[in-house]
Amino acid sequence: MADWTEGYISDINYTYGYYPYLNPNSVIIPFLTAGLEVPKFDTACELGFGQGISINAHAAASDMTWYGTDFNPAHASFAQELADVSGSNIHVYDQSFAEFCSRSDLPDFDFIGLHGIWSWISDDNRHIITDFLRRKLRVGGVLYISYNTLPGWSAAAPIRHMLNQHDHILGSRGQNMHKRVQASMDFTQNLLNICQPLVQQSPFIPQKIEQMQTLNPNYLAHEYFNSEWQPMYFSELNDWLSPTKATFACSPNVLEDFALSNFTEEQQALLANIDDPMFAQTVKDYMHNTQFRQDFWVKGARNISTAKLEKTWQNLRFLMISNRENITLEASGRLGNITLRQDIYEPILDILSDYQIHRVADIWQSLADNFEQPLLFEALAFLQAKGNIVLVQEQAIVDKVRVHCQKFNDYILQQSLVEQNIKSLASPLTGGAFSFSQFDLIFLYAYQQGKKSTKQLVNMAWQTLTQQGKHLVKEGKDLQTEEENLAELKQMATEFTKNILPIAKRLQIITD
């Protein structure tokens, strides 16, 4: 029988992560900030969706039609279960990229996303995907792609190689994958203890493998134990993508492109002298020793006119979700934190702190006459990237998707009582999902059941823990007694009610 796995790890399923940049709505602000026209998104596709949390959250919370594939049937089956539960507009398949990309019944796509795929597949599959992008990404459409990057990976590459080699030579196919991962990790860690020249050249290697020992073995298996692994320089990815006619657009995180918090004066001066924007990206990766890139590419980048840029911004709607008192006037970057200007940010935050949805045109009207419009746009972009405010979809879409989000969220909240792997709930406001801690999910479930007092929240969490025969661990110490556990849960429930529940309500993930 032919092996469908193509050397890809299949005897252990992937983690249940959510990736916000796979949401086409996350294109809007970075594109406007980069001065680019924003396409309208009706059809979207995710290649290699894993457990399908992102694709399902996006299908439930948006009015786009979603297509996707993952050749692991256990992944595709779970993704289909979520799709059935949510009743959203989504088509998921368990086909390989070769099979899916050659289907004749697919529409053209306004958005194609692949997260955690490109570096872990063969050149043949990379060719299949670039051919698909060339044919099926609509003109003006956006590609989201993430990948392991050089030069950042060059120093740690020996770890990956040894893990993979050890498993290939000594790992038994009949052995449980978790045991194989552990055996290769232990071997490599012990080996590095006696590899002085290598460690001298890359002194961080022992810490890296020590830190890896704390990670989810399912993640480690998919990240390090596949037969294929190819980190790339930005310029190499650019070569791969050039036949697709897509060009680099921008980072999905506007804070990453902000010069003051990311580049020293010397670095800024050097970058200012580079005319070729693609070469500038490779140079930036050298400056930051980038290990992992997440980028938007676009098929036919068009600069937006100033008039249209202003009009598009004016029509957008924002909502503050963080409690005002928790918002700091700081933005983080590679060089550390920078302080944001109080005279710009405070008046905007004052307007948004009623936690109502505001159209930018109205915010603009409420600001002082001499407030410069580009500074308002930049501040909103930064506050959004910091996670303090969210971009809200048009009301007709919010109303349409509410029921799908509710079904998706009910399923996940119910699951949180028995399993702790899915952490994300969909918001009808944003078209995306937000991640919560295990206990916040249990508290949200309790709250939704009408158990709203701190005592009731604590009881529900304690009941869940005892049913699973578990107890809490605080700062590395097991909390053994019931009193200790209840006291800790009370603190968690108080924090939840003050800081987390309001966010879930503002996002309309949960209602009163």
Running DSSP on this structure, what letter comes out for residue 74? H
Answer yes or no whether residue 240 interacts with ligand SAM by CB under 6 A: no
List the one residue from 82, 90, 112, 121 that touches ligand SAM (CB under 6 A).
121
Rounded distance between C-alpha atoms, residue 171 and residue 185, angstroms? 12
One-letter-per-residue 3-state SS of 384-416: HHCCCEEEECCHHHHHHHHHHHHHHHHHHHHHC
Q: Which residue in 25, 43, 62, 96 binds ligand SAM (CB under 6 A)?
A: 96
The span from the CA of 294 to the CA of 72, in Å, is: 24
Among 97, 109, 144, 436, indicate the residue that binds ligand SAM (CB under 6 A).
97
Q: Which residues pair with 389 in a beta bridge?
A: 320
CA dist 264 to 58, 105, 251, 289, 369, Å? Answer: 38, 50, 19, 14, 34
Burial of 162 (0-12, 13-18, 19+ CB in 10 A): buried
Please, what is the minimum distance in Å from the beta carbon of residue 123 to ligand SAM? 12
Contact status: 8 vs ligand SAM (CB under 6 A): yes
**Helical residues (DSSP H) of 155-262, grouped into ranges:** 157-170, 177-193, 196-201, 205-212, 217-224, 234-241, 259-262
On whether the CB atoms of residues 109 and 138 are closer than 8 A, the answer is yes
Tokens describing residue 81: 């279960």
Q: Does 297 bind ligand SAM (CB under 6 A)?
A: no
Q: Nearest distance from residue 13's CB to ligand SAM, in Å?
A: 8
Residues 54-83: x where in contact with ligand SAM by CB under 6 A, - otherwise, as a string: ---------------xxxx--x--------
CB of 204 to ligand SAM, least distance (A): 24
Crossing angle for the helix pair 373-385 and 306-315, nearest 10 degrees?
50
For the chain, give the number of residues. 512
- Tokens standing for residue 478: 């097991």
Q: Toward ligand SAM, which CB reaches closer, 229 or 355?
A: 229
**Per CB under 6 A, which of residues 408..437 are in contact with ligand SAM?**
none
Q: What residues are paired with 91 via a beta bridge?
A: 67
By CB under 6 A, residue 116 contacts ligand SAM: yes
Q: Give whichever of 125 and 464 is closer to ligand SAM, judged by the CB atom.
A: 125
- CB atoms near residue 325 (< 10 Å): 9
Among 12, 17, 254, 440, binds ligand SAM (CB under 6 A): 17
Under rule CB under 6 A, residue 111 binds ligand SAM: no
Residues 368-407 that bind ligand SAM (CB under 6 A): none
Question: Which of the ranges 43-51, 193-201, 265-273, 328-336 carries the binding residues for ligand SAM, by CB under 6 A?
Answer: 43-51
CB of 128 to ligand SAM, least distance (A): 8
**Residues near ligand SAM (CB under 6 A), total:** 22
Q: Which residue is nearest to ligand SAM (CB)?
A: 50
Strand 109-114, strand 43-47: pairing = parallel
Note the residues at the interface with ligand SAM (CB under 6 A): 6, 8, 14, 17, 19, 48-50, 69-72, 75, 96-97, 115-117, 120-121, 125, 222
